[in-house]
Structure 1
Amino acid sequence: MATVMVNIDGKTYRMACDKGQEEHLAGLAGRFDHYIGHLKSSFGEIGDHRLSVMAGIMVMDEMSEMERRFAALEEEIKILRQERDTRSTASTEHEKSLAATLENITQRLIVMASRITPKS
Structure 2
Amino acid sequence: MASVELEVGGRKYTLACRDGEEAHLRSVAAVVDRKAREAASALGNLGEARQLLFASLLLADELGEQRGAGAGAGGSATPAADPNIAELLEDMADRVEMLADRLEPQGANS
Name the TM tier (shorter chain).
Answer: 0.5 to 0.7
CA 1:21/1:43 → structure 2, altered by over 3 Å: closer, same or farther?
same
Deviation at 1:35, TM superposition (A): 0.8
User: Of Structure 1 and Structure 2, which has the larger fraction of its residues in helix?
Assistant: 1
Which letter maps to 1:28? Answer: V
1:55 deviation in Å? 0.7
Q: How big is the alpha-carbon RMSD for the aligned residues of Structure 1 and Structure 2?
A: 1.9
Report 1 or 2 for greater relative contact order, CA contacts < 8 Å, sequence distance ≥ 6: 2
Q: TM-score, normalised by structure 1?
A: 0.56
The corresponding residue for 1:46 is 46
For 1:10, give the aligned amino acid.
Answer: G
Instruction: Give the fraction of aligned pairs with identical amino acids, expressed as a percent.
Output: 29
5+ long unaligned stretches in structure 2: 77-110
Corresponding residue number in structure 2 for 1:25: 25
Quick check: which has more Rg, 1 or 2? 1
What is the TM-score when the length of structure 2 is the normalising length?
Answer: 0.60
Q: One-letter code of the match for 1:26?
A: R
Q: Which runs of 5+ in 1 are unaligned?
A: 77-120
- The alpha carbon displacement at 1:54 in A equals 0.8
- 1:6 equivalent in alignment to 2:14: no
